[in-house]
């Protein structure tokens, strides 16, 4: 098992996932776990993190579909065996697809619910007790569960009703976790990205989103706040 602090990223990919992983690794975490569906994409993500941060950090990748519970738990088992359980869990898994009201297949609704809610619940069951223990055992720790969200829970878009629906359910879950475990020293909240993400956007580009996320995360002990709105 590699010593040090570990960051776990679920839903690793270009954009927010890569930028948050890279910035957090450069600031605090010498062990980084990246989980996503495709092994080829994960190799690109690993190279990008190492290129930016340098070889002084350890990066492990695990290809797993979060909707397949056995596959997800196996990846988490392997990651924990390599680095120990994480100090920060960053949940970024989602898919953005158009969905037409009343004609969108219910199977797709259920699939997206698994990505955004069921898998997050499994991850929370596994790691929140550990994060609580870490908060009690190590005053210098910053245990956290951070989830990428959006404005859709408050402002649903009918053409994206499926994503709006599952993101609302996800936010509800994270709020319940926040209300239950924040007083036990675990920072639990969402990055509310209230618009389209683009490298060209001056406000909602991945680099700025990561910087705002780090600022919000770092100040959580002094000023706990459920969300950062970007």
Q: What is the pLDDT of residue 2?
A: 66
Please provide the average confidence, as pLDDT, over all residues in the chain. 96
Return d(Cα 75, Cα 64) in angstroms, integer: 7
Least Cα distance to 99 among 162, 14, 156, 153 occurs for 162
What average pLDDT score do residues 150-165 get?
97
Angle (CA) 206-59-137 rounded to 5° is: 95
Return d(Cα 136, Cα 202) in angstroms, integer: 40
Q: What is the pLDDT of residue 223?
A: 86
Q: How many residues does the chain have?
A: 230
Q: What is the pLDDT of residue 222?
A: 86
Q: What is the pLDDT of residue 224?
A: 87
* Confidence check: pLDDT of 82 > 80: yes
What average pLDDT score do residues 90-101 get?
96
Output the DSSP codes for 95-147. Answer: ----B-TTTS-HHHHHHHHIIIIIHHHHHHHHHHHHHHHHHHH-TT---EEEE
* Confidence check: pLDDT of 1 > 80: no
Q: Which pTM does this prediction carry?
A: 0.96
| Residue range 18-50, pLDDT digits in tens | 999 999 999 999 999 999 999 999 999 999 999
| Residue range 185-227, pLDDT digits in tens | 999 999 999 988 999 999 999 999 999 999 999 998 888 899 9
Q: What is the pLDDT of residue 221?
A: 85
Inter-residue contact 57 to 50 (CB < 8 Å): yes
Q: What is the pLDDT of residue 132?
A: 98
> Which is it for strands 6-10 and 31-36: parallel, antiparallel or unpaired?
parallel
* Confidence check: pLDDT of 162 > 70: yes
* Confidence check: pLDDT of 146 > 70: yes
Least Cα distance to 13 among 25, 71, 37, 28 occurs for 37
């Amino acid at each position: 098992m590699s010593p040090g602090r570990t960051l776990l990223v679920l839903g690793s990919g270009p954009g927010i996932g890569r930028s948050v992983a890279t910035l957090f690794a450069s600031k605090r975490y010498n062990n980084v776990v990246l989980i996503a569906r495709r092994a080829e994409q994960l190799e690109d993500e690993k190279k990008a993190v190492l290129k930016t941060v340098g070889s002084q950090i350890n990066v492990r990748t695990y290809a797993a579909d979060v909707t397949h519970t056995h596959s997800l738990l196996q990846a988490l088992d392997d990651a924990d065996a390599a680095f120990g359980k994480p100090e920060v869990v960053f949940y970024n898994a989602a898919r953005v697809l158009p969905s037409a009201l009343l004609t969108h297949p219910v199977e797709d609704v259920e699939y997206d619910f698994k990505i955004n809610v069921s898998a997050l619940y499994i991850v929370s069951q596994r790691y929140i007790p550990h994060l609580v223990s870490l908060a009690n055992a190590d005053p210098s720790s910053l245990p956290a569960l951070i989830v990428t969200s959006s404005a859709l829970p408050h402002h649903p878009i009918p053409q994206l009703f499926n994503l709006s629906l599952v993101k609302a359910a996800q936010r509800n879950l994270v709020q319940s976790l926040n209300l239950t475990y924040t007083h036990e020293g675990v920072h639990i909240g969402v990055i509310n990205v209230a618009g389209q993400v683009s490298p060209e956007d001056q406000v909602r580009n991945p680099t700025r989103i990561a910087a705002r996320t780090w600022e919000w995360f770092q100040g959580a002990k002094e000023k706990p706040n459920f969300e950062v709105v970007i």
